[in-house]
Amino acid sequence: MTVVLSRGLRDRLAQIEQRYDEIGRLMSDPGVVGDRNRMRALGQEHAQLGPVITTIGQLRTAEAARDQARELVDDPEMRELARAELATAEAEVERLTGELRTQLIPRDPLDEKNVIVEIRAGEGGEEAALFALDLYRMYTRYAERKRWKAEILSQSQSEKGGFKEVIYRIAGKGAYSRLKFESGVHRVQRVPTTEAQGRIHTSTASVAVLPEAEDVDIEVDEERDLKIDVYRASGHGGQGVNTTDSAVRITHLPTGLVVTCQDERSQLKNKAKAMSVLRARLLAYEQEKRETEMGDARRAQIGRAERAEKMRTYNFPQDRITDKRLGYNLSNIAKVLDGDLEEMTSALMVKDESERLARLEEPPE
């Protein structure tokens, strides 16, 4: 099948070239050079557009060679040579066109960021908390396979050792690009260890994967926007109770968002962790608001965690994993829960790229 550039894609190429030239001029503007944050943002954008600009140049060269060869095909003395050159040029045009279409897929500017993962038990009581623990282990083991670092920021354990809630940070190159599709409600169908009669129970847990925000992403006025309370930590499972007021609760007054952290014995460390979570939630909040304003609002990541609201189901009796976004099921639940998520995350990334590429075919507004 011949790969072609639609009118919509060619219009976007013209826009990219204009933007690339504009960035070059801005980076030489004395009024911009002194703004370190803006220069960094422009430099990153310039570097991202560079490969596309290179491919555009290569494609134009190949198209010129193709057009020249076509003109020579009718020349009796040059026909054989022109046909060979035409075939080579057409193959190069097709290769570069396909490469350019892939490069034009909009990249999420947050893809390379670290993530804050929040897992909460939903319906199902103690079994839901144990399932939340299973999901936590799944993602941390996946992080180990990718040589990423995981660190718990906040946790609330259940009586049997599960998680009512756990919030943790995963640091590593491209963490958000691989894990962002895990946001949603996960459902498990299995026989709990506490079930004497062998009945299958259905439980849920919600997962939210938030890109970690930096100061440059979200500005917070601590004096005006935050209410910070300190109190005595309760400890985990009745053990290690802190006798000092080290636990921290931060309320962001403009949005009403509340974050608590009591895992560390140091009030300063708890505050730093809570601020990290707060910034991630504020960044997600701002994203949601922008998408809503553009008329493309998406469902909130966490949801209500009801049994009927599901993104993925882990069916233990049938050893089947069903993700409603994919057109097929996966088997070997034990392997997946042990952190082998590469097949699933890759499939979801490919599907997302295909959908974004299809939207690129539409002429820009």
- Shared domain for 241 and 180, answered yes or no, is no
Q: Tell me what pLDDT residue 82 has.
A: 87
- Asked, for residue 365, whether it belongs to a domain, the answer is no
- Shared domain for 172 and 24, answered yes or no, is no
Number of domains in the chain: 3
> 274-283 b/e with 16+ CB inside 10 Å = b?
bbbbbbbbbb
- Shared domain for 208 and 307, answered yes or no, is yes
Assigned token pair, 275: 């601020």
Helix axes 79-103, 36-72, angle to 10 degrees: 160
Phi, psi (deg, nearest 5) at residue 328: -150, 165
- Shared domain for 307 and 233, answered yes or no, is no
Q: Tell me what pLDDT residue 177 has.
A: 93
CATH of the domain at 157: 3.30.70.1660
Give the residue from 72, 103, 134 where a domain finishes: 103
Say which DSSP state 246 is in: -
Q: Tell me what pLDDT residue 26 has.
A: 94
- Asked, for residue 232, whether it belongs to a domain, the answer is yes
Find residue 321's DSSP bridge partners: 314, 330
**Residue whose token pair is 């952190």:** 339
Give, in order, the Cα–Cα distances in Å from 222 to each of 186, 219, 254, 283: 35, 9, 12, 16
CATH of the domain at 274: 3.30.160.20
pLDDT-above-70 percentage for the chain = 88
Q: Tell me what pLDDT residue 240 has.
A: 45
Nearest to 216 by CA among 28, 40, 49: 40
pLDDT, one tens digit per residue, over 42-55 is 998 999 899 999 99
d(CA 275, CA 221): 12
- Shared domain for 51 and 161, answered yes or no, is no
- Shared domain for 257 and 312, answered yes or no, is no
Phi, psi (deg, nearest 5) at residue 342: -60, -45
- Taking the CA atoms of residue 23, residue 28, residue 29 and residue 31 in that order, the dihedral angle to the nearest 10 degrees is 100
Least confident of 52-56, 59-63, 325-329: 325-329
- Asked, for residue 110, whether it belongs to a domain, the answer is no
- Asked, for residue 64, whether it belongs to a domain, the answer is yes
Instruction: Determine the structural domain holding residue 253 and report its residue range.
Output: 222-293
Give the residue from 68, 103, 138 where a domain finishes: 103
Of how many residues is the chain composed? Answer: 365
Give the residue from 81, 103, 125 where a domain finishes: 103
pLDDT, one tens digit per residue, over 104-115 is 887 777 888 999
Residues near 219 by Cβ (< 8 Å), separated by ≥ 6?
none
Contact 138, 166 (CB under 8 A): no
Rg over CA atoms, the chain: 26
- Shared domain for 83 and 189, answered yes or no, is no
- Shared domain for 93 and 235, answered yes or no, is no
Element (H, E) at 41: helix 36-72
- Asked, for residue 96, whether it belongs to a domain, the answer is yes
d(CA 217, CA 77): 64
- Shared domain for 184 and 287, answered yes or no, is no
d(CA 332, CA 211): 29
CATH of the domain at 83: 1.20.58
Q: Tell me what pLDDT residue 61 has.
A: 94
Nearest to 153 by CA among 111, 192, 210: 210
- Shared domain for 191 and 308, answered yes or no, is yes
Winning range, highest mean pLDDT, from 171-180, 227-236, 242-251: 171-180
- Shared domain for 121 and 196, answered yes or no, is yes
- Asked, for residue 196, whether it belongs to a domain, the answer is yes
Give DSSP secondary structure letters for 247-295: EEEEEETTTTEEEEE-SSS-HHHHHHHHHHHHHHHHHHHHHHHHHHHTT
**Residue whose token pair is 């991202």:** 48
- Shared domain for 45 and 143, answered yes or no, is no
Q: What pTM did the predictor assign? A: 0.70
- Asked, for residue 109, whether it belongs to a domain, the answer is no
Give, in order, the Cα–Cα distances in Å from 123 to each of 46, 155, 187, 200, 269: 48, 18, 9, 14, 32
Nearest to 118 by CA among 136, 100, 130, 140: 136
